Amino acid sequence: MRPMHVALVTLAALAACNKAESEGQAGGDAGGPGGGGPPAMPVEAAAARADTVVDAILATGQIEAMQSIELRPDVEGRVVQILVREGSLVAAGTPLFKIDDAELRTQVAQLEAERDLARQSLARTRELLSQKASSQAELERADATMRSTEAQLDRLKVRLARTLVRAPFAGVMGQRLVSLGDYVTSDTHLAALQTVSPQRASFQVPERYAEQLKPGLEVTFRVASLPGREFTGKVDFVDPIVQLPGRTILVKAQVPNRKRELQAGMFIEARLATAVRPSAVVIPEDAVLPLQGSNFVWVIIDGKATRRQVVLGVRTPGFVEVTSGVEDKEQVVVGGQERLAEGAPVSATLVQRRPTSGREETAAVDSEAAGAADSGAVGQKDSGAAGQVRR
């Protein structure tokens, strides 16, 4: 009976060992490598980075000439000469149109004769007065007649000179509205004349940005008819009056136009830079979680996730500026946030977010509109604040 007893003891010992081994394996699976804790959650993370962010105001407007005029004659008469072609580039003072001056030249010749006669009369009266054969009153009358005749002659000569219509400034001739032989008056439009370089970009900005508007700000804009081109100018005029009913402020910027690409009336989409922050913190937009009117991100600290409230600045497609809550180089979770809890261990896979190409896709939001932007209203075409990240 003793051998049977030994066999039973041996089987019991083996069973106990197997049970202990199974319990040890189960415990190791539940606790992870450290044992006793929850497993690390796999997430995707990206590093916050410092970048240059530009605050800007988006607006639509048009190109305007620095100077533009509808040419009209100063005297009546028939057009006898057209001295320039439509579309010609002319210098200031260039003769453009000639009005018939035959009648005025005849009147000038008549007044020159009357002036000569008045001068002779004045000279005789002075001589007679020296001989005491005339009175002082007659001398004064002769002098007044001579000066009146000279004034009439000078006025007529001015009218004669104005029969030649000249360019008041350098520019490009527009459409000609008269032909040879047309009888014109001071109300007749002869042609248009406007400057071409520099030009002006003109647009309206909401009055809430009044404090940010000042001469010298940089304006960049694109023109619908010139795809792929971008132009830059400097603000040289900010209207001191808020225009009703839209409560907007007129802003104009001077833009070089040496190649004459920008034409008056062209529609533009402008971006007015109001501030530049060279060391702003930027994170991927999909790291932000809106919740009850606030914004949060999950930050990885020592392998664990912690939730932080953040304050957002300007946005660009795929990225957003963080003005408070995240520091440069900190890792933020961009994928798998829905499974996280405060202090949960994470296994992070770093990913790279590529900026989208093309500045025209820049989103228009500001700190006041951050809540609406988080709900999906990221872009807008009307005047508003815009963010741009320079790379």
Could you list the beta-strand ranges (E) of 207-336: 218-223, 231-238, 248-255, 267-284, 289-291, 294-301, 304-316, 319-324, 331-335
Amino acid at 242: V
Residues contacting 384, CB < 8 A, separation 6+: 57, 58, 206, 364, 365, 366, 369
How high is the pLDDT of residue 37?
65
The tokens 């057009």 sit on which residue? 79
Closest CA to 386 of 235, 237, 274, 218: 274
Residues 251/64, Cβ–Cβ less than 8 Å: no
Show the DSSP H helices in the chain as ranges. 2-31, 102-130, 136-161, 370-374
What sign does the CA torsion over 170, 176, 180, 181 have? Answer: negative
Structure tokens given for 124: 């005789």
Q: Which amino acid is at 91?
A: A
CB atoms within 10 A of CB 5: 9
Q: Rg of the Cα trace of the chain?
A: 42
Q: Count Cα neighbours of 189 within 13 Å in the Cβ-side half-sphere.
A: 10
Q: What is the pLDDT of residue 281?
A: 93
pLDDT in 10s for each residue of the chain, 391 residues: 444 443 333 434 444 444 444 444 434 444 444 455 678 889 999 999 998 888 888 999 999 999 999 999 999 999 999 999 999 999 999 999 999 999 999 999 999 999 999 999 999 999 898 888 888 899 899 999 999 999 999 999 999 999 999 999 999 999 999 999 999 999 999 999 999 999 999 999 999 999 989 999 999 999 988 988 999 999 999 999 999 998 999 999 999 999 999 999 999 999 998 888 888 999 999 999 998 889 999 999 999 999 999 999 888 888 999 999 999 999 999 999 888 999 999 999 999 877 654 443 333 333 333 333 333 333 333 344 455 545 4
How far apart are alpha carbons 296 and 312 in whole angstroms?
A: 10
| Structural domains of the chain in order of their starting residue, each with its CATH number | 47-64+197-390 (2.40.30.170), 74-100+166-194 (2.40.50.100), 101-162 (1.10.287)
* Helical packing angle, 136-161 and 102-130, nearest 10°: 160
Whole-number Å distance between alpha carbons of 53 and 282: 9
Determine contact, residues 311/323, Cβ cutoff 8 Å.
yes
Instruction: Give dist(CA 263, CA 255) in Å, integer.
Output: 11
